[in-house]
Amino acid sequence: MSGHSKWSTIKHKKGAEDKRRGQLFTKLSRAIIVAAKEGGPDPDANATLAAAIAKARSYSMPKDNIERAIARATGGGENADAFEAVTYEGYGPEGVAIIVEALTDNRNRTAADVRSMFTRSNSSLGTPGSVAWQFERKGVILVPADEASEDDVVLAAADAGAEDVGQDESSWQVTTAPTDLAAVRDGLEAAGIPITSAELTMVPKTTVELDESGARQLLRLIDSLEDLDDVQEVHANFDIPEAVLEAVAG
């Protein structure tokens, strides 16, 4: 499992107390609105929407919020046509590769904000494609290892169409094709498997190991990027021991 997946797990644990929960729900709603606008309101026929809903559910976003976001895609409210997807690539501390995905109604503002965060962290933005080759888009579902046995997770995941199951410290990581994320999540839930998170992500082909000092620098950069209103996702190919992540998050 990449360090970023472990970092996501820790942030999910803190999620209920996160003061930025309202901002998170706004971002999740925006992703649902844009996905429904572009591919239709039926998640069974729109894999992007299904993945956006799966992620929203993993953050305990109320069902009513999800349904309102889908309705607004075709019935008015926030204008999905105003937003476009933009991606930025660069390198952070210790040469960690970073991909930033955003939905914006003002490219110039978003580019300036992202560049500022990189500059403040003595990091650098690159050109399109400069780091993307180091990642693969996958669906990733995390299951607490102390709440489900390996046999149960592997069997349920295989039956639901998952690609792989692996363990890293305190979590099982179930990997799926992007279009299978929602179906595999549903299959795990039907089998009684508890789920920490389920989302589309960029899985790194290789990772960069960081010590505590490097971890603090990098995670400050990632948090500052995720705090930007337009930024939806930040992916990075770092690997940090879970104990260090817990200490940094503490």
pLDDT digits (tens, 9 = 90+) for 178-199: 989 989 999 999 999 999 888 8
Q: Which amino acid is at 242?
A: E
pTM summary value: 0.83
- The pLDDT confidence band at residue 18, using thresholds 50, 70 and 90, is low
Q: What are the residues facing 236 on neighbouring strands?
A: 98
Q: Please give the pLDDT value at position 132.
A: 95
- Percentage of residues in the chain having pLDDT higher than 70: 89
Given the DSSP bridges, would you call strands 97-104 and 84-91 parallel, antiparallel or unpaired? antiparallel
Among 13-27, 130-144, 168-182, the minimum mean pLDDT is found in 13-27
Q: Answer whether residue 1 shows pLDDT above 50.
A: no
Alpha helices (H) along the chain: 3-14, 21-39, 47-58, 63-75, 107-120, 150-160, 181-190, 212-226, 242-249
Q: Answer whether residue 16 shows pLDDT above 90.
A: no
Average pLDDT, the chain: 86
Q: Which residue has the tokens 């559910």?
A: 57
Sheet holding 171-176, edge to edge: 164-168, 171-176, 135-144, 197-204
Sorted by where each starts, the structural domains of the chain and their CATH numbers stand as 3-81 (1.10.10.200), 83-133+206-249 (3.30.70.980), 135-204 (3.30.70.980)
User: How far is residue 127's CA from residue 42's CA, in Å, rounded to a whole number?
Assistant: 35
pLDDT tens for residues 121-147? 989 999 999 999 999 999 999 898 999
- The pLDDT confidence band at residue 32, using thresholds 50, 70 and 90, is very high
- The pLDDT confidence band at residue 79, using thresholds 50, 70 and 90, is low
Q: Which of the two residues, 213 and 154, has the higher pLDDT score?
A: 154
- The pLDDT confidence band at residue 223, using thresholds 50, 70 and 90, is confident
What b/e string do you get for 204-213 counting C-beta neighbours within 10 Å, with b at 16 or more?
beebbebeee
